[in-house]
Structure 1
Amino acid sequence: MEEDYEISTLPNNPIMAQIKAHKEKKTKKSRAKACLFAAVSSTIFTRIMSLKSAKAIWDYLKSEYEGDERIKGMQALNLISEFELQRMKDSETIKDYSDRLLSIANKVRLLRSEFTDSRIVQKILVTVPERYEATITTVENTKDLSKISLAELLNALQAP
Protein backbone atom coordinates (compact mmCIF):
# COMPACT_ATOMS: atom_id res chain seq x y z
CA MET A 1 0.00 0.00 0.00
CA GLU A 2 1.44 3.32 -1.07
CA GLU A 3 1.33 6.10 1.49
CA ASP A 4 0.26 9.58 0.47
CA TYR A 5 2.49 12.40 1.67
CA GLU A 6 1.91 16.05 1.25
CA ILE A 7 4.84 17.80 -0.40
CA SER A 8 5.25 20.08 2.59
CA THR A 9 5.65 17.20 5.04
CA LEU A 10 8.54 15.55 3.24
CA PRO A 11 11.84 16.16 5.08
CA ASN A 12 14.45 18.28 3.27
CA ASN A 13 12.19 18.87 0.30
CA PRO A 14 14.06 20.98 -2.30
CA ILE A 15 10.80 22.29 -3.77
CA MET A 16 9.70 23.67 -0.40
CA ALA A 17 13.13 25.21 0.15
CA GLN A 18 12.83 26.98 -3.21
CA ILE A 19 9.33 28.21 -2.42
CA LYS A 20 10.46 29.48 0.99
CA ALA A 21 13.51 31.23 -0.53
CA HIS A 22 11.29 32.82 -3.19
CA LYS A 23 8.84 34.10 -0.55
CA GLU A 24 11.69 35.54 1.56
CA LYS A 25 13.20 37.26 -1.47
CA LYS A 26 9.82 38.71 -2.43
CA THR A 27 9.29 39.94 1.15
CA LYS A 28 12.72 41.61 1.21
CA LYS A 29 11.98 43.36 -2.07
CA SER A 30 8.63 44.57 -0.76
CA ARG A 31 10.28 45.86 2.44
CA ALA A 32 12.94 47.68 0.41
CA LYS A 33 10.25 49.38 -1.69
CA ALA A 34 8.29 50.30 1.45
CA CYS A 35 11.41 51.83 3.04
CA LEU A 36 12.12 53.89 -0.06
CA PHE A 37 8.50 55.05 -0.23
CA ALA A 38 8.58 56.03 3.45
CA ALA A 39 11.84 57.97 3.05
CA VAL A 40 10.62 60.41 0.39
CA SER A 41 8.20 63.32 0.41
CA SER A 42 4.69 62.94 -1.00
CA THR A 43 5.70 64.88 -4.11
CA ILE A 44 8.53 62.49 -4.89
CA PHE A 45 6.38 59.50 -3.92
CA THR A 46 3.94 60.31 -6.73
CA ARG A 47 6.86 60.17 -9.19
CA ILE A 48 8.16 56.78 -8.01
CA MET A 49 5.00 54.93 -6.98
CA SER A 50 4.53 53.31 -10.39
CA LEU A 51 8.06 51.87 -10.51
CA LYS A 52 8.02 48.09 -10.10
CA SER A 53 11.17 47.32 -8.12
CA ALA A 54 13.28 48.79 -5.34
CA LYS A 55 16.21 48.89 -7.77
CA ALA A 56 14.19 50.88 -10.30
CA ILE A 57 13.18 53.33 -7.56
CA TRP A 58 16.76 53.61 -6.32
CA ASP A 59 18.12 54.17 -9.85
CA TYR A 60 15.50 56.87 -10.47
CA LEU A 61 16.30 58.68 -7.21
CA LYS A 62 20.04 58.40 -7.84
CA SER A 63 19.82 59.86 -11.34
CA GLU A 64 17.40 62.56 -10.24
CA TYR A 65 19.29 63.78 -7.18
CA GLU A 66 22.91 62.79 -7.46
CA GLY A 67 23.66 64.71 -10.63
CA ASP A 68 26.64 64.22 -12.86
CA GLU A 69 30.24 65.04 -11.96
CA ARG A 70 30.14 68.46 -13.62
CA ILE A 71 27.07 69.50 -11.60
CA LYS A 72 28.59 68.18 -8.37
CA GLY A 73 31.78 70.10 -9.13
CA MET A 74 29.84 73.32 -9.62
CA GLN A 75 27.88 72.73 -6.41
CA ALA A 76 31.15 72.19 -4.52
CA LEU A 77 32.61 75.40 -5.97
CA ASN A 78 29.51 77.35 -4.95
CA LEU A 79 29.70 75.97 -1.43
CA ILE A 80 33.42 76.75 -1.16
CA SER A 81 32.68 80.30 -2.32
CA GLU A 82 29.93 80.53 0.31
CA PHE A 83 32.40 79.24 2.93
CA GLU A 84 34.98 81.88 1.96
CA LEU A 85 32.42 84.68 2.31
CA GLN A 86 31.46 83.72 5.88
CA ARG A 87 32.30 86.10 8.70
CA MET A 88 31.48 85.79 12.37
CA LYS A 89 28.84 88.25 13.51
CA ASP A 90 29.43 90.20 16.71
CA SER A 91 26.23 88.78 18.19
CA GLU A 92 27.16 85.20 17.28
CA THR A 93 28.77 82.62 19.55
CA ILE A 94 31.82 80.58 18.55
CA LYS A 95 29.64 77.46 18.59
CA ASP A 96 27.06 78.95 16.23
CA TYR A 97 29.74 80.24 13.88
CA SER A 98 31.67 76.96 13.83
CA ASP A 99 28.42 75.02 13.31
CA ARG A 100 27.66 77.23 10.30
CA LEU A 101 31.14 76.65 8.85
CA LEU A 102 30.98 72.91 9.54
CA SER A 103 27.60 72.68 7.87
CA ILE A 104 29.01 74.14 4.66
CA ALA A 105 32.17 72.01 4.91
CA ASN A 106 30.12 68.83 5.36
CA LYS A 107 28.02 69.66 2.30
CA VAL A 108 31.25 70.02 0.31
CA ARG A 109 32.47 66.68 1.69
CA LEU A 110 29.20 65.00 0.69
CA LEU A 111 29.96 66.00 -2.88
CA ARG A 112 33.16 63.96 -2.50
CA SER A 113 35.38 67.01 -2.44
CA GLU A 114 38.34 67.31 -0.09
CA PHE A 115 37.78 69.79 2.74
CA THR A 116 40.05 69.59 5.77
CA ASP A 117 39.42 70.66 9.34
CA SER A 118 42.63 72.70 9.17
CA ARG A 119 40.94 74.88 6.56
CA ILE A 120 38.10 75.53 9.01
CA VAL A 121 40.65 76.30 11.75
CA GLN A 122 42.38 78.86 9.50
CA LYS A 123 39.03 80.40 8.59
CA ILE A 124 38.05 80.80 12.24
CA LEU A 125 41.44 82.25 13.17
CA VAL A 126 41.19 85.02 10.58
CA THR A 127 37.49 85.84 10.83
CA VAL A 128 36.62 85.94 14.53
CA PRO A 129 35.99 89.39 16.06
CA GLU A 130 38.68 91.32 17.93
CA ARG A 131 37.35 90.23 21.32
CA TYR A 132 38.97 86.82 20.69
CA GLU A 133 42.40 88.24 19.84
CA ALA A 134 43.83 87.70 23.34
CA THR A 135 42.66 84.07 23.37
CA ILE A 136 44.13 83.45 19.93
CA THR A 137 47.44 84.96 21.04
CA THR A 138 47.48 82.67 24.07
CA VAL A 139 46.74 79.63 21.90
CA GLU A 140 49.41 80.77 19.44
CA ASN A 141 51.99 80.93 22.27
CA THR A 142 51.13 77.48 23.62
CA LYS A 143 50.30 75.48 20.47
CA ASP A 144 51.45 75.20 16.89
CA LEU A 145 48.53 76.79 15.02
CA SER A 146 49.35 74.83 11.87
CA LYS A 147 48.74 71.59 13.79
CA ILE A 148 45.96 72.53 16.20
CA SER A 149 42.76 70.50 15.86
CA LEU A 150 39.42 72.11 15.31
CA ALA A 151 38.17 70.74 18.64
CA GLU A 152 41.17 72.22 20.52
CA LEU A 153 40.66 75.63 18.94
CA LEU A 154 36.92 75.65 19.65
CA ASN A 155 37.50 74.59 23.27
CA ALA A 156 40.03 77.37 23.75
CA LEU A 157 37.74 80.01 22.21
CA GLN A 158 34.71 78.84 24.18
CA ALA A 159 36.50 78.81 27.52
CA PRO A 160 35.25 81.58 29.86
Structure 2
Amino acid sequence: MAGNNFMSAPPMFTGENYQIWAVKMESYLQASDLWDVVTTEIPTLPEDPTIAQITENKSATRKGYKAKTCIHSAVSEMIFTKIMTCETAKQAWDLLKEEYRGNQRTKRMQILNLKREFEMKKMKEAESFKEYVDKLMAIVNKIRMLGEALPDSRVVEKILVTLLEMFEAKISSLEESRDLSTIALGELINAMQAQEQRRAYRQEEGVEGAFQAKYTATSESKGKKLWNRGGEDNVGKGTRNPPKFPHCQHCSKTNHHPTKCWKILECRSCKKKRHIAKFCKNKQQTQAQTVQQPNEE
Protein backbone atom coordinates (compact mmCIF):
# COMPACT_ATOMS: atom_id res chain seq x y z
CA MET A 1 0.00 0.00 0.00
CA ALA A 2 1.25 3.46 -0.81
CA GLY A 3 2.53 5.54 2.05
CA ASN A 4 2.22 2.89 4.77
CA ASN A 5 5.75 1.63 5.11
CA PHE A 6 5.46 2.06 8.89
CA MET A 7 2.50 -0.32 9.04
CA SER A 8 2.90 -3.80 10.46
CA ALA A 9 0.80 -6.85 9.66
CA PRO A 10 -2.95 -6.52 10.38
CA PRO A 11 -4.31 -8.02 13.62
CA MET A 12 -5.34 -11.67 13.34
CA PHE A 13 -8.92 -12.79 14.09
CA THR A 14 -9.44 -16.44 15.04
CA GLY A 15 -13.08 -16.30 16.14
CA GLU A 16 -12.61 -14.95 19.69
CA ASN A 17 -12.74 -11.41 21.08
CA TYR A 18 -14.34 -9.94 17.99
CA GLN A 19 -14.88 -6.51 19.57
CA ILE A 20 -11.16 -6.09 20.27
CA TRP A 21 -10.19 -7.26 16.79
CA ALA A 22 -12.77 -4.97 15.16
CA VAL A 23 -11.37 -1.90 16.92
CA LYS A 24 -7.80 -2.78 15.93
CA MET A 25 -8.79 -3.61 12.36
CA GLU A 26 -10.75 -0.39 11.96
CA SER A 27 -7.72 1.64 13.04
CA TYR A 28 -5.53 -0.35 10.67
CA LEU A 29 -7.82 0.31 7.70
CA GLN A 30 -8.14 4.00 8.58
CA ALA A 31 -4.38 4.37 8.72
CA SER A 32 -4.21 2.70 5.30
CA ASP A 33 -6.89 5.06 3.89
CA LEU A 34 -9.19 2.10 3.17
CA TRP A 35 -11.96 2.49 5.74
CA ASP A 36 -14.29 4.41 3.41
CA VAL A 37 -14.58 1.45 0.98
CA VAL A 38 -15.42 -0.85 3.91
CA THR A 39 -18.31 1.25 5.20
CA THR A 40 -19.84 2.07 1.80
CA GLU A 41 -20.27 0.20 -1.45
CA ILE A 42 -18.36 1.43 -4.49
CA PRO A 43 -20.83 3.25 -6.80
CA THR A 44 -21.26 1.89 -10.32
CA LEU A 45 -20.47 3.97 -13.38
CA PRO A 46 -23.32 5.76 -15.19
CA GLU A 47 -24.18 4.91 -18.79
CA ASP A 48 -22.12 7.72 -20.24
CA PRO A 49 -19.31 8.31 -17.70
CA THR A 50 -16.81 11.09 -17.91
CA ILE A 51 -13.08 10.59 -17.73
CA ALA A 52 -13.05 11.91 -14.16
CA GLN A 53 -15.78 9.45 -13.13
CA ILE A 54 -13.90 6.58 -14.75
CA THR A 55 -10.69 7.56 -12.99
CA GLU A 56 -12.47 7.90 -9.62
CA ASN A 57 -14.18 4.53 -10.06
CA LYS A 58 -10.88 2.80 -10.87
CA SER A 59 -9.27 4.34 -7.78
CA ALA A 60 -12.18 3.26 -5.57
CA THR A 61 -12.18 -0.24 -7.07
CA ARG A 62 -8.44 -0.55 -6.46
CA LYS A 63 -8.89 0.53 -2.83
CA GLY A 64 -11.75 -1.97 -2.48
CA TYR A 65 -9.51 -4.82 -3.56
CA LYS A 66 -6.80 -3.68 -1.16
CA ALA A 67 -9.28 -3.49 1.71
CA LYS A 68 -10.63 -6.96 0.91
CA THR A 69 -7.09 -8.32 0.79
CA CYS A 70 -6.39 -6.79 4.20
CA ILE A 71 -9.46 -8.47 5.68
CA HIS A 72 -8.53 -11.81 4.10
CA SER A 73 -5.02 -11.65 5.55
CA ALA A 74 -6.37 -10.69 8.99
CA VAL A 75 -8.50 -13.80 9.58
CA SER A 76 -7.67 -17.45 10.10
CA GLU A 77 -8.35 -20.09 7.45
CA MET A 78 -11.50 -21.22 9.21
CA ILE A 79 -12.90 -17.67 9.23
CA PHE A 80 -11.75 -17.10 5.65
CA THR A 81 -13.97 -19.90 4.36
CA LYS A 82 -16.99 -17.92 5.60
CA ILE A 83 -16.14 -14.73 3.69
CA MET A 84 -14.36 -16.11 0.63
CA THR A 85 -17.48 -15.71 -1.53
CA CYS A 86 -17.97 -12.02 -0.63
CA GLU A 87 -17.28 -9.80 -3.60
CA THR A 88 -16.49 -6.58 -1.74
CA ALA A 89 -14.73 -5.62 1.48
CA LYS A 90 -17.99 -4.21 2.86
CA GLN A 91 -19.80 -7.51 2.39
CA ALA A 92 -17.01 -9.40 4.17
CA TRP A 93 -16.93 -6.88 7.04
CA ASP A 94 -20.71 -6.92 7.53
CA LEU A 95 -20.83 -10.72 7.48
CA LEU A 96 -18.22 -10.97 10.25
CA LYS A 97 -19.95 -8.28 12.25
CA GLU A 98 -23.33 -9.98 12.02
CA GLU A 99 -22.07 -13.44 12.94
CA TYR A 100 -19.62 -12.64 15.75
CA ARG A 101 -21.05 -9.47 17.22
CA GLY A 102 -24.63 -10.69 17.01
CA ASN A 103 -27.89 -8.83 16.72
CA GLN A 104 -29.24 -6.31 19.17
CA ARG A 105 -30.77 -8.98 21.38
CA THR A 106 -27.54 -10.95 21.63
CA LYS A 107 -25.58 -7.75 22.19
CA ARG A 108 -27.89 -6.76 25.05
CA MET A 109 -27.46 -10.16 26.71
CA GLN A 110 -23.67 -9.81 26.50
CA ILE A 111 -23.85 -6.39 28.13
CA LEU A 112 -26.03 -7.69 30.97
CA ASN A 113 -23.67 -10.62 31.62
CA LEU A 114 -20.66 -8.30 31.68
CA LYS A 115 -22.40 -5.87 34.03
CA ARG A 116 -23.27 -8.72 36.38
CA GLU A 117 -19.65 -9.84 36.34
CA PHE A 118 -18.56 -6.25 37.01
CA GLU A 119 -20.83 -5.92 40.02
CA MET A 120 -19.75 -9.25 41.54
CA LYS A 121 -16.04 -8.60 41.09
CA LYS A 122 -14.08 -8.23 44.35
CA MET A 123 -10.41 -8.14 45.22
CA LYS A 124 -9.05 -11.42 46.57
CA GLU A 125 -6.53 -11.84 49.35
CA ALA A 126 -3.99 -13.60 47.15
CA GLU A 127 -3.93 -11.09 44.27
CA SER A 128 -2.19 -7.75 43.99
CA PHE A 129 -3.88 -4.44 43.30
CA LYS A 130 -2.55 -4.40 39.72
CA GLU A 131 -3.92 -7.88 39.00
CA TYR A 132 -7.32 -6.91 40.37
CA VAL A 133 -7.51 -3.63 38.42
CA ASP A 134 -6.40 -5.32 35.19
CA LYS A 135 -9.21 -7.88 35.47
CA LEU A 136 -11.75 -5.19 36.34
CA MET A 137 -10.71 -2.90 33.47
CA ALA A 138 -10.89 -5.81 31.02
CA ILE A 139 -14.60 -6.16 31.88
CA VAL A 140 -15.10 -2.39 31.65
CA ASN A 141 -13.50 -2.21 28.20
CA LYS A 142 -15.67 -5.06 26.90
CA ILE A 143 -18.79 -3.24 28.07
CA ARG A 144 -17.69 -0.02 26.42
CA MET A 145 -16.79 -1.76 23.15
CA LEU A 146 -20.36 -3.06 22.97
CA GLY A 147 -21.57 0.54 22.99
CA GLU A 148 -22.68 0.72 26.63
CA ALA A 149 -21.63 3.79 28.62
CA LEU A 150 -19.76 3.12 31.86
CA PRO A 151 -18.26 6.31 33.33
CA ASP A 152 -14.93 6.41 35.18
CA SER A 153 -16.68 7.66 38.31
CA ARG A 154 -18.57 4.35 38.56
CA VAL A 155 -15.32 2.42 38.17
CA VAL A 156 -13.66 4.56 40.89
CA GLU A 157 -16.56 3.85 43.23
CA LYS A 158 -16.31 0.13 42.48
CA ILE A 159 -12.59 0.06 43.26
CA LEU A 160 -12.94 1.97 46.53
CA VAL A 161 -15.73 -0.32 47.75
CA THR A 162 -14.07 -3.64 46.89
CA LEU A 163 -10.48 -3.03 48.05
CA LEU A 164 -8.96 -5.05 50.89
CA GLU A 165 -8.58 -3.74 54.43
CA MET A 166 -4.87 -3.00 53.95
CA PHE A 167 -5.81 -0.04 51.72
CA GLU A 168 -8.13 1.60 54.26
CA ALA A 169 -5.41 3.93 55.57
CA LYS A 170 -4.65 5.19 52.07
CA ILE A 171 -8.34 5.68 51.28
CA SER A 172 -8.79 7.67 54.49
CA SER A 173 -5.81 9.83 53.56
CA LEU A 174 -7.31 10.54 50.13
CA GLU A 175 -10.67 11.41 51.70
CA GLU A 176 -9.01 13.98 53.96
CA SER A 177 -7.00 15.55 51.15
CA ARG A 178 -9.64 15.72 48.42
CA ASP A 179 -13.13 14.77 47.26
CA LEU A 180 -13.18 11.14 46.13
CA SER A 181 -16.21 11.74 43.92
CA THR A 182 -14.05 13.88 41.63
CA ILE A 183 -10.83 11.89 41.68
CA ALA A 184 -9.64 10.62 38.30
CA LEU A 185 -9.45 6.90 37.65
CA GLY A 186 -5.77 7.03 36.67
CA GLU A 187 -4.88 9.05 39.77
CA LEU A 188 -6.59 6.54 42.06
CA ILE A 189 -4.87 3.58 40.39
CA ASN A 190 -1.44 5.24 40.64
CA ALA A 191 -1.96 6.14 44.32
CA MET A 192 -2.99 2.59 45.27
CA GLN A 193 -0.15 1.00 43.32
CA ALA A 194 2.36 3.29 45.03
CA GLN A 195 0.91 2.33 48.43
CA GLU A 196 1.19 -1.37 47.60
CA GLN A 197 4.79 -1.00 46.41
CA ARG A 198 5.83 0.81 49.61
CA ARG A 199 4.20 -1.91 51.69
CA ALA A 200 6.02 -4.61 49.68
CA TYR A 201 9.38 -2.82 50.18
CA ARG A 202 8.84 -2.66 53.95
CA GLN A 203 8.02 -6.35 54.07
CA GLU A 204 11.15 -7.22 52.08
CA GLU A 205 13.30 -5.13 54.41
CA GLY A 206 11.75 -6.84 57.44
CA VAL A 207 12.34 -10.31 56.02
CA GLU A 208 15.90 -9.44 55.06
CA GLY A 209 16.62 -8.06 58.56
CA ALA A 210 15.19 -11.15 60.25
CA PHE A 211 17.21 -13.43 57.99
CA GLN A 212 20.40 -11.47 58.69
CA ALA A 213 19.81 -11.64 62.47
CA LYS A 214 19.14 -15.38 62.29
CA TYR A 215 22.26 -15.94 60.19
CA THR A 216 24.40 -13.93 62.63
CA ALA A 217 23.04 -15.81 65.65
CA THR A 218 23.62 -19.16 63.95
CA SER A 219 27.19 -18.22 63.03
CA GLU A 220 27.96 -17.10 66.58
CA SER A 221 26.48 -20.30 68.01
CA LYS A 222 28.56 -22.45 65.68
CA GLY A 223 31.66 -20.46 66.56
CA LYS A 224 31.11 -21.00 70.28
CA LYS A 225 30.58 -24.74 69.79
CA LEU A 226 33.77 -25.04 67.78
CA TRP A 227 35.67 -23.03 70.37
CA ASN A 228 34.38 -25.12 73.25
CA ARG A 229 35.05 -28.35 71.42
CA GLY A 230 38.56 -27.21 70.62
CA GLY A 231 39.15 -26.33 74.29
CA GLU A 232 37.93 -29.74 75.45
CA ASP A 233 40.15 -31.47 72.92
CA ASN A 234 43.16 -29.47 73.97
CA VAL A 235 42.54 -30.10 77.66
CA GLY A 236 41.45 -33.74 77.60
CA LYS A 237 42.13 -35.63 74.43
CA GLY A 238 44.55 -33.38 72.66
CA THR A 239 44.06 -31.39 69.52
CA ARG A 240 42.77 -32.98 66.36
CA ASN A 241 45.70 -31.71 64.32
CA PRO A 242 49.22 -32.60 65.57
CA PRO A 243 51.24 -29.67 66.94
CA LYS A 244 53.90 -28.15 64.71
CA PHE A 245 57.51 -27.73 65.92
CA PRO A 246 60.20 -25.48 64.50
CA HIS A 247 62.34 -26.94 61.76
CA CYS A 248 64.68 -29.58 63.15
CA GLN A 249 68.28 -28.54 62.78
CA HIS A 250 69.28 -32.15 62.07
CA CYS A 251 66.67 -33.27 59.48
CA SER A 252 64.69 -30.00 58.74
CA LYS A 253 61.34 -31.63 59.57
CA THR A 254 58.62 -30.14 61.81
CA ASN A 255 56.94 -33.25 63.25
CA HIS A 256 59.30 -33.67 66.24
CA HIS A 257 61.43 -31.76 68.63
CA PRO A 258 65.12 -31.40 67.69
CA THR A 259 66.13 -33.31 70.83
CA LYS A 260 64.07 -36.28 69.66
CA CYS A 261 65.54 -36.45 66.16
CA TRP A 262 66.50 -39.96 65.09
CA LYS A 263 69.79 -38.71 63.68
CA ILE A 264 71.15 -37.90 67.15
CA LEU A 265 69.64 -40.77 69.12
CA GLU A 266 72.28 -43.06 70.73
CA CYS A 267 71.78 -46.74 71.51
CA ARG A 268 72.55 -47.69 75.12
CA SER A 269 73.55 -51.19 74.08
CA CYS A 270 76.01 -50.62 71.25
CA LYS A 271 76.63 -46.89 71.74
CA LYS A 272 75.83 -46.18 68.09
CA LYS A 273 73.52 -43.42 66.77
CA ARG A 274 70.34 -43.33 64.73
CA HIS A 275 68.54 -46.03 66.74
CA ILE A 276 67.61 -47.02 70.28
CA ALA A 277 68.27 -50.19 72.27
CA LYS A 278 64.82 -51.56 71.61
CA PHE A 279 65.58 -51.78 67.89
CA CYS A 280 69.32 -52.52 68.20
CA LYS A 281 70.42 -55.40 65.94
CA ASN A 282 73.66 -55.99 67.87
CA LYS A 283 71.71 -56.41 71.11
CA GLN A 284 69.34 -58.89 69.47
CA GLN A 285 72.27 -60.95 68.11
CA THR A 286 73.97 -60.98 71.56
CA GLN A 287 70.78 -62.17 73.25
CA ALA A 288 70.36 -64.94 70.65
CA GLN A 289 73.92 -66.20 71.20
CA THR A 290 73.44 -66.20 74.97
CA VAL A 291 70.32 -68.35 74.65
CA GLN A 292 72.00 -70.74 72.17
CA GLN A 293 75.12 -71.55 74.32
CA PRO A 294 73.21 -73.15 77.26
CA ASN A 295 71.23 -75.24 74.81
CA GLU A 296 74.39 -76.60 73.21
CA GLU A 297 75.84 -77.47 76.61
Task: Bin the TM-score by the shorter chain.
Answer: 0.7 to 0.9
**Residue matched to 1:93:** 128
The alpha carbon displacement at 1:28 in A equals 1.2
The answer to whether 1:108 aligns with 2:139 is no
Cα distance change of structure 1 residues 115 and 22 upon mapping to structure 2, 3 Å threshold: closer
For structure 2, the residue ranges without an aligned partner over 5 or more in a row are: 1-49, 199-297
Within a 5 Å distance, the mapping from 1:38-117 to structure 2 comes to: 38-117=73-152
The answer to whether 1:137 aligns with 2:172 is yes
Counterparts of 1:20 and 1:77, CA distance in 2 = 49
Residues 76 and 111 in structure 1, CA contact (< 8 A), matched pair in contact too: yes
More helix by share: 1
Higher relative contact order (CA 8 A, sep 6+): 1
Counterparts of 1:97 and 1:35, CA distance in 2 = 36
Q: Which amino acid aligns with 2:142?
A: K
The alpha carbon displacement at 1:71 in A equals 1.4
**Residue matched to 1:25:** 60
**What whole-Å deviation, never above 9, does each CA across 1:36-74 have from its counterpart, x for those lacking one?**
111222211011112211122122112212322221111
Using the size of structure 1 for normalisation, the TM-score is 0.82
Counterparts of 2:72 and 2:170, CA distance in 1 = 51
Using the size of structure 2 for normalisation, the TM-score is 0.46
Residues 76 and 108 in structure 1, CA contact (< 8 A), matched pair in contact too: yes
The alignment's C-alpha RMSD in Å is: 1.7
Counterparts of 2:146 and 2:54, CA distance in 1 = 43
Identity rate of aligned residues, in percent? 50
**Residue matched to 2:6:** none
Counterparts of 2:90 and 2:190, CA distance in 1 = 46
Counterparts of 2:173 and 2:63, CA distance in 1 = 58
Q: In the alignment, which of 179, 189, 193 is matched to residue 158 of structure 1?
A: 193
Counterparts of 1:35 and 1:123, CA distance in 2 = 40
The alpha carbon displacement at 1:153 in A equals 1.1
**Residue matched to 2:154:** 119
Aligned structure 1 segments of 4 or more residues deviating by more than 4 angstroms: 17-22
Cα distance change of structure 1 residues 22 and 126 upon mapping to structure 2, 3 Å threshold: closer
The alpha carbon displacement at 1:152 in A equals 1.6
Residues 94 and 158 in structure 1, CA contact (< 8 A), matched pair in contact too: yes
For structure 1, the residue ranges without an aligned partner over 5 or more in a row are: 1-13
